[in-house]
Structure 1
C-alpha cells in the first residue's frame, strides 16, 4: 500500500511538471511560428534605419549585462532617494515641530489641563509629525523615480530578467516589480501586487514584500551601520552604504527562500505562465508620472500611515506615563520581555520599541531613546555620536547593533502594510501570516547569530 501511495504521488508530480512544460512549450511554439511568418512576409530596409529598441534590449535583457545594469539603475534610484530626502526631511521636521510649539502656546493660553496637552501634543501630534517628516520626502522622491522607469518601459525588462529566478521559487516574475516598489513603502508594494493575475502568486508576493526594507527602516539601518559597524574613516559613508546594500541583498535572498517555502506548503500550486511582450520604449509623460507617483501612491500611503500613527501616539504616551509601583507600564513590559530578548541578542526595551513601532517603523528609534532616557514623550538626539553613547551606556555591543538591524529587516510589517494586506487579500488570515512569518524568521536568525558569537567568543 505504501508503494502504491508513493506511486500516486509520483504520478501527480509528473502531471504537474508535464502541464508546466507543456504550457511553456506551447507558448514558445506560438512565438516561434509568429516569428517565422513575420520573417517570410515582412521585409526591412536595413540601410535606412537601425532598430534602436532592439539594440537597447540586447543590453538590458542580456544574461551578461542585464543584471549589472538593473542593479546600477535601482541602486541609483536608491541613492537619489536617500541623499535627496535628507534636506527636505530636516526642513519638514523643523516646520512641523514649530507648529508643535504654537500648539503648546495655544493650550497654555486657554489654561488647558497639562495632561490633555501632553496626550494630544506630545503624544498624538508629535508621533504624526515624525511619521510625516520621515516618510513624505523619501516617498516623494522614490515613487517618481520608480514611476519614471515604469513609464519609460524599463520595468517590464526587470521582470523579464528575474522571471526565471522567481519561477524556480514557485512565484511570479512580476513579483520583482512589487518587491522594488517595497523599497519605497511596503504598503505600496503590496498594492502593486494587483499586477499579478494569479491569486496564489499574488498572495506570495504580498506576504514576502516586507523582507525588503522600506524608507521607514532605512534611517535605522543607516544610523546603526554608521556608528557601530563601520569604523571612522574618510570612506565611512561609502562603507556604510555598502553594508546597508549587503543587508538589502540578505532581504532579497530571504524573499526568494520564503516564496519557495510558501509555494511548497500553504500556497501550493502550478506556477502561472508569464508571457511578457516587451513594450516599446516611450517618452515619459511628466504629468502622468507626477499624478501617479504623488497622488495615487505617496498621498494614499501617507494617509493610511497617519490614520494608524495617530492612535499609536496616544497608546505610547499612556504606557510611558502611567506608573505602577513607581515604574512605567512601558518599563514593566520591557523587564518582562528582557530574558527572551537577551536570548536573541537584544533587550526588553528594544523589543518594546519594535512592538510600539508597529504603526510606523520611523518611530522605533525615538521610542527606544525615550525608554532609555526615562522620558514621557518621544525624543530624538542631536547627533549620531550622542546616540551611540546612550546605547553603549545601556549595554549595547556591536552584536546588539547587528541584531537590531537584522530584526528590523526581518520583523513584522508596519501597521499600514498589514492593513493593506488585509484589504488586498480580503482576509485577516493572510495579514496574520504576513506578521508571524517574518518575525519568526527574524527571531531564528538573531538567536542563531547570538549563540554562535557567544559559543565561539567572537565578541
Structure 2
C-alpha cells in the first residue's frame, strides 16, 4: 500500500498537531530524543532556514517544524520536545508521546548521544513499543571517539531491529545516510523488526489476557501490546489521549472491563500496586537498555570523563560554584554594557539622521507642524530610542548567554541554585529563566517553558521581572556612578560596579522571597522533582550561536518592543505637549503624584517617567530629563555631570537615587514583557498579578528605605 492521506493519518497531523504540509505526498518525520543529544543541531542542519516555530495547540511548548528535499521528495520534519521518557506526565512528554502515537508520522528519528547511549536507549525502547517506523540516530560520534568510546552500530541495529545511523550533526557527517535511511523506512523499503521488551511473568500474563481483544478494538491503529500495558497501568493522561484518537473509550468495553478487573484483582493478590506496576515496567525497560548497551558499547579508557568531572568539582563545588557563577555573569554583563556603547551610539546617530531627513520630507510636503511632531518627535523618536538602546545589548548578551549554554555551563548554574529554589518551594530551572531575564525579561518569560509544572512555571513568570534586564542597567549604572561612587576618583568605577552588583543580588533574594510567598499562598504546592542532566562540555558552534541568538531571541523580542514603542511615543508626545491652563498634562499628572512620590523617596516626575516608560525601561531617564527641562520631546544630556546637576537642581539627593534604583529593580514589567506574559499564560489574571506584585514590592521597599533614612536622621 502506498503512502496515502488516509493510511498515514495526514488529516490528524494537519488538524491536531498543526503540521504544515504542501501536499499529501510530503513525508512527515518525527524527531525525538533526550535533551542534550544534539537533536536541535540535527534539525537545524537538515532544514537550514526552511523552518518555522510556534506553539503546540493549547500549549506554551515550542513547536518547531522544518523542511528539506531529498530525492526530489519534500520531507517535513517536526522537532519534538526533548524528553527522557514517554511514561511521565509533563507537557513535553505528552506532546512527544501523542505525536508519535497518534500523529502517525511516516518515520520517527530518535537522536541519541554516543557518549551516554545506555540512558538514551530507554526512550528508544519506549518508542519501539509504539511504532516500527523508527531510525536511531547515534549523534556526537566525534565526542565518543575523543573519549575513546567504541560503539558497534551494526550490532546495535541487529539488537534493536531497526536501522542505526552514526552522525556528527554539527559537521554534517552522516546526515545524507540518515536521509536515505529515513526515506527507505518511510516507504517500507527497509523492513524493521523492533526489539520486544519482555516483562516479568505477571505483567506478560496480564497483557496476554487482553491483547487480542484490544487488537480487535483498535483495528491496528495503535500497537496492541502497548495499549494493553497502558490500560493495565491506568495512566490517565495516556488513556485520555488514546480514547480521543480512537473516538471511543476502550475501558468502557464490557468484556475488556471484566478482564481488567480480573487483572487488577490478581495484581492486588500479589501486592502489586499501581506505583509498583509502573516500577516493574520501567525496570524492565532499563534492564533491557543496559543489556543492549553492554553488548555494543566498549570503553577503551575507563576514565573517559575524568576531565569533565574535575571541571565540575570546581564549577559546582559548595564553596566556589556560586562565586564563579557570579563572576562569569559579571563578565557577561560587563562585556554587554561596554560593548554596546559604541554600536548604540552609531545606531542612534544613524536613526536620528533618518529623523532629520524625515522632518525635511514632511516639511517639504507641507505637513502641519502638529502632525510632524506627533509622527517624528513622538512615534519615530521613541521608536528610534528603543531600537538604538535595546538592540546592541541584546545582540551581545544573547550570543554570550547562548555560548555558555552551548559550552554546557548553564545546567551547572541550575545545579548550584537548585537548593535555594527548593527551599523557596520553586523549581531549580527557574535559575536559568532568571539568567535569561538579565538579557531581556520578555525572553526570560519565554524560557519559563522549560519548567514542566504549571504552578512552578507561573511562579517563575511572575517573579522574572525582579532581575534587572539590559534596559534597566543604564539607569542603574548612571545613578550608581554619579550619586554613589562619584564621577571621578580611582575607585569610582569599583564602587559603581559593587552598587550595581548589590542591586542584582538583592533582586535574586527578592525573587526567592516572593517565590516562597507565592508557593504558600495563591500558588500553593511542593517543589516538583526533575531530572537535571549535566551534559559534557563541548566546543561551541559559533555560527549556530549567532544565528540562533539573533533571529530566535534578539529580533523576536525587538519586534514586540517596536510594536509597543510606536503608539507609546504618541502618548508621551501628547502628555508633554497638550496643555491645560498653560501647564502640560505631564506636569498636571506629576503634581498629582508628587505627594505619593515624596512618600517613597522620589517625586511626581520620576513616577510619571516610569509610567510613560512602560514601552521600554531604556526611555525612563530620557523622559525624566524631558520633564525636568520642560521640553516637548525626549532628549539626553551630553555627560553624567550635566545629568547630576540637573537632578540636584530638581531636589535629588543620594536617597532619591537609591530609591529610584530600588524602584527600577522592583516595578511593573515593560510593555513587551507584559504582552509576552499574556501570550504565555493566556490569562489576564496572571498578567495583572505579574504587574501588581513587583510594583507593590517596589513601593513597600522604597517606603521603608525612605522613611527609615529620615527617621534615623541620615539625611
TM-score between the two structures when normalised by the length of structure 1: 0.90
What's the offset of the Cα at 1:43?
8.8
Corresponding residue number in structure 1 for 2:695: 439
Residue 408 of structure 1 corresponds to which residue in structure 2? 664
1:364 maps to what in 2? Answer: 620
Aligned residues: 429
- What residue in structure 2 maps to residue 164 of structure 1? 419
* Mapped pair 1:259 → 2:515: yes
Distance 2:561 2:592 in 1: 29
* Residues 484 and 495, structure 2, Cα contact 8 Å, conserved in 1: no
Offset at residue 58 of structure 1 (A)? 1.7
RCO higher in structure (CA 8 A, sep ≥6): 1
SS of residue paired to 2:513: helix
Alpha-carbon offset, residue 44 of structure 1: 6.1
Decide which moves more: 437-446 or 52-61.
52-61
Secondary structure of residue in 2 paired with 1:183: helix
Cα distance change of structure 1 residues 50 and 360 upon mapping to structure 2, 3 Å threshold = closer
Residue 246 of structure 1: aligned partner: 502
Counterpart selection for 1:152 from 407, 432, 443: 407
- Cα separation, 2, equivalents of 1:83 and 1:427: 38
Matched residue of 1:132: which SS?
Answer: helix
Distance 2:303 2:351 in 1: 59
**Equivalence for 2:683:** 427
Q: Secondary structure of 2:439's match? A: coil
Alignment-derived partner of residue 139 in structure 2 = none
Q: Tell me, in whole angstroms, the C-alpha distance in 2 between the residues paired with 1:302 and 1:353.
A: 21
- Cα distance in 2 for partners of 1:72, 1:64 equals 14
Larger radius of gyration: 2
The RMSD of aligned alpha carbons is 2.1
Residue 219 of structure 1 is aligned with which of 449, 452, 474? 474
Between the aligned partners of 1:117 and 1:89, the Cα distance in structure 2 is: 25
Partners of 2:506 and 2:425 in 1: CA distance: 19
Of residues 92, 102, 106, the one that matches 2:361 is 106
- The worse-fitting range, judged by mean Cα deviation, of 141-150 and 226-235 is 226-235
Shift of 1:302: 0.3
Distance in structure 1 (CA, Å) of the matches to 2:605 and 2:638: 21
Write out aligned runs for 1:285-300 (5 A).
285-300=541-556
Tell me the residue number matched to 1:209. Answer: 464
Q: State how far apart, in whole Å, the 1-side matches of 2:362 and 2:308 are.
A: 63
Deviates most, 265-274 or 119-128 = 265-274
Structure 1 residue 135 corresponds to structure 2 residue 371: no
Matches for 1:10-159 after TM superposition, within 5 Å = 51-159=306-414
1:173 aligned to 2:428? yes
* Aligned-residue offset at 1:75: 1.2
Whole-angstrom distance in 2 between the partners of 1:48 and 1:169: 38
Deviation at 1:118, TM superposition (A): 0.3
1:273 paired residue among 510, 529, 536: 529
Where structure 1 has 5 or more consecutive residues not aligned to the other structure, the ranges are 1-21
- TM-score, length basis structure 2: 0.58
Deviation of 1:277 after TM superposition, in Å, equals 2.1
Superposed CA deviations along residues 39-87 of structure 1, whole A, max 9, x for unmatched, are xx89966688562222222222221222222112111111110111111
Q: Which residue of 2 aligns with 1:3?
A: none
Using the TM superposition, give the Cα deviation of residue 279 of structure 1 relative to its aligned residue in structure 2, in angstroms: 1.4
Partner Cα separation in structure 1 for residue 551 and residue 699 of structure 2: 37
